[in-house]
Structure 1
Amino acid sequence: MKATITTLFASLAAALCVIALLPEDICRAPHPTPSCTAGTVKKTWYFNNGTNKYEKYDGCSKGMNDFGSRFCCEDSCPYGKK
């Protein structure tokens, strides 16, 4: 039963994000850290080229390597350590 639920959850998560393999240079691009206005801060995931890991970010960046979940980040930028 747990395996079925896990598989179902993974399938739903995949359907919620656009899975597209990004070129490595886009994934490894510097992550912008602009100043945020009130109410624009959101939680995103990005690939950190410096640490070679997927990291959570609280900010207002809208870069090409920002994702709504770790799952989407790993699928789109499969170049780092999990």
Structure 2
Amino acid sequence: MNKSELVDAIAKDTGLTKKDSEAALKSFIENVSKAVESGDDVQLIGFGTFTTATRAERTGRNPSTGKEITIPASKSPKFKPGKAFKDRVNK
């Protein structure tokens, strides 16, 4: 399912117009992104939790030259599915 198909499904389920459904989806994505960017968790009971994971600086190797390089520390978004979501997928 891509974004336009998701917008169509939301519009069908809620009775909203496609334009309003797309606006709601964009708002959801933007607000989750802002919260995770600022270090907050977004917990949706039954669905899952969006969090930020921190990766420490580490030493890697350039595959073409074999030279050691330093990979800087970074943050990345994570999603941990909730129990109800996992159960639904595994039924």
Which structure features the higher share of strand residues?
2
TM range (shorter): under 0.3
* TM-score computed with the length of structure 1 as normaliser: 0.26
TM-score by length of 2: 0.24
Structure number, greater radius of gyration: 2
The structure with higher relative contact order (CA 8 Å, sep 6+) is: 1
